[in-house]
Amino acid sequence: MDSFIEQNADLAKILETHYLVVKINVDTKNRNEAVLSHYPNSPGYPHLFVLDTNGKLLKSQDTSELESGKSYDLGRFKSFLQTWAPAP
């Protein structure tokens, strides 16, 4: 996902302007259950959780729905980010 965003300046700009990105690693050694227990179970990773400025969950997004073939779909990804970006 990182490389896809880096390759698409529009996405990077939306993220930089409207979001604070926090990456949480999940693997067999560290499931980060203390943090993730506050949010709905996700079917897989990467997964996106959009929170408001008070930490309230606005959207839990399975990233497979943003994919097309072996990568992400630029239109779907951009639409998702624009939909959940806070109003100016």
- Which pLDDT belongs to residue 88? 77
Q: Give the mean pLDDT of 5-13.
A: 97
Q: Are 81 and 15 in contact (CB under 8 A)?
A: yes
Closest CA to 77 of 7, 25, 30: 7
Domain range summary for the chain, segments of one domain joined by +: 2-84
Instruction: Give the Cα separation of 41 and 23 in Å (integer).
Output: 16
Q: Are 41 and 35 in contact (CB under 8 A)?
A: no
Tracing tokens 């959009």 back to the chain, one arrives at: 50
- Which pLDDT belongs to residue 2? 95
Residue 62 pairs in a beta bridge with 47
- Which pLDDT belongs to residue 53? 92
**Global confidence as pTM:** 0.90
- Each residue of 38-59: pLDDT tens digit? 999 998 899 999 999 999 999 9
- Each residue of 60-76: pLDDT tens digit? 999 999 999 999 999 99
